Amino acid sequence: MDVITALRNRKSVRAYLDKPVTRRQIERILDAARHAPSGANTQPWRVIVLGGAAKDRLAARLEAAFRNGQRGKPDYRYYPDEWFEPYQARRRACGQQLYAALHIERQDRQRRVDQWVANYHAFDAPWMLLFFFDRKLAVGSYMDYGMFLQSLMLAAQAEGLATCPQAALAEYPDLVRDELDIMEDQRLACGMALGYEDPDAPVNRYRTPREAVTGFTTFVE
């Protein structure tokens, strides 16, 4: 698969087949992604790969915290405190597409909660990846991490696998660090579901729109 095709075909997958993904496959993906660029070659990424009982234990703790009303305290602010245009409209449209695909009505609060909880189980993908970096690093490392994550997702495409990058898996970083015995000096960036896409799942059939090049690009000559 060429890079352009992989970029166009990549999507966030929220339903997975009960089909095993081998450790060797994951190692191949990570081996490709490690070639992502980073400022001064700092390579800030640290990856924890969870499967089986280890994944289930963490997912259960995350779900329990959420359902018990415990507010998450992420290590950094992913979204603005107050939304504004055009980002508010894009965010709303994204949510509307998701719930429309699942036939979840706006007033059906229980199903919306259950769908959110699916985040903490990495949508039942066989593997959950968690991404950490040293707390003493600065803003540039976030850009480095973005390039690493995209590289990883494209490598997964080439392997025939699907992914979903997840900010939700970073909502309870203290809980995650406690469960995995990770030092406090490691900031939790995000998580990711990894597995084989279920092509028959309605939630995987919609695609979010993208702004045309002319909408975000200015040429100066």
Looking up residue 160, the CATH number of its domain turns out to be: 3.40.109.10
Q: For residue 195, is it within any domain?
A: yes
Could you give the number of structural domains in the chain? Answer: 1
Say how far apart CA 164 and CA 37 lie, in whole Å: 21
Q: Inform me whether the pLDDT recorded for 130 exceeds 90.
A: yes
Tens of pLDDT along 28-60? 999 999 999 999 999 999 999 999 999 999 999
Q: For residue 178, is it within any domain?
A: yes
Q: Give the largest CA-CA distance in the chain.
A: 57
Report the predicted TM-score, pTM, of the whole model to 2 decimal places.
0.96
Q: For residue 101, is it within any domain?
A: no
Q: For residue 112, is it within any domain?
A: no
Tens of pLDDT along 72-105? 999 999 999 999 999 999 999 999 999 999 999 9
Q: For residue 73, is it within any domain?
A: yes
SS3 17: coil
The phi and psi torsions of 9 (rounded to 5 degrees) equal: -90, -20
Q: For residue 103, is it within any domain?
A: no
Give the number of other CB atoms < 10 A from CB of residue 83.
12
Q: Inform me whether the pLDDT recorded for 128 exceeds 90.
A: yes
Q: For residue 114, is it within any domain?
A: no
* DSSP states of 32-43: HHTTS--GGG--
SS3 154: helix
Tens of pLDDT along 142-192? 999 999 999 999 999 999 999 999 999 999 999 999 999 999 999 999 999
The phi and psi torsions of 127 (rounded to 5 degrees) equal: -130, 145
Alpha-carbon torsion (146, 143, 176, 79), positive or negative: negative
**H/E segment holding residue 215:** helix 213-216
Q: Inform me whether the pLDDT recorded for 106 exceeds 90.
A: no
Token reading at 11:
């999507």
Q: For residue 87, is it within any domain?
A: no
Name the residue range of residue 73's domain.
3-78+120-208
Q: What is the pLDDT of residue 51?
A: 98
Tell me which DSSP letter residue 70 carries: P
